[in-house]
A and B are shown apart, each in its own frame.
Chain A
Amino acid sequence: EVQLVESGGDLVQPGRSLRLSCPASGFTFGDYTMSWFRQAPGKGLEWVGFIRGKAYGGTTEYSASVKGRFTISRDDSKSIAYLQMNSLKTEDTAVYSCSRGGNNGWNYFDYWGQGTLVTVSS
């Protein structure tokens, strides 16, 4: 059974940093693209970024709203994806979820975690 369980969400002040983790199980982690999404309270889904699997060099892509501030990484030996968030802004407040790219790609996302809440406020 595929499982993704995010952790690390917290209340942080603007300008501070936070790292989220997404340990995965039930599949060969290194083969898959892993993506992060977020959903602000009462709003729709927003893509944050993703990291490709080892067959694609583990390269990353980011949305314009987080590029230069957020970094996605992965530890295939531990089956964990990470989201490092720096220079946080109040508009980054959201539930952050990790997801697995379907069919080893990034056309769609077939398994999602329940998410972890990040609140950016002074």
Chain B
Amino acid sequence: EIVLTQSPATLSLSPGERATLSCRASQSVRSYLAWYQQKPGQAPRLLIYDVSNRATGIPARFSGSGSGTDFTLTISSLEPEDFAVYYCQQRSNWPPEITFGQGTRLEIK
């Protein structure tokens, strides 16, 4: 099983600041890496797929990068609505499985 480790567990920042969230895989996930945002009581929202592609309707302040085992989600200038939990997700072919990181909580400083 491929394990995804997100860091930091909690990130405290102020609106307007830049957020950098990390996701490290225990082995290469090729380009099958996605990022989701989840707010309390809500369903996850797809932000980024295939490492760096923004999902429909996602603002340009969200960007994804990385390759192989190390990936980053960057929020260029935080808006009040961006404070939430963020998960990275990978899929693997064998065994066929989907795994998530444990999440990074982005909180208002």
Contact = CB atoms under 8 A, between A and B. Distances in A.
A25 B96 CA distance: 27
A64 B51 CA distance: 26
A109 B96 CA distance: 15
Interface size class of B (residues with CB under 8 A): 20 to 34
A69 B49 CA distance: 31
Contacts of A115: 43
Interface size class of A (residues with CB under 8 A): 20 to 34
Contacts, number: 58
Given A61-B96, A61-B97, A107 B91 contact: yes
A118 to B, nearest CB: 16
A109 B50 CA distance: 11
Given A44-B100, A47-B97, A106 B43 contact: no
Given A107-B91, A108-B89, A63 B97 contact: yes
Interface of A: 35, 44-47, 50, 61, 63-64, 97, 102, 106-110, 112-115
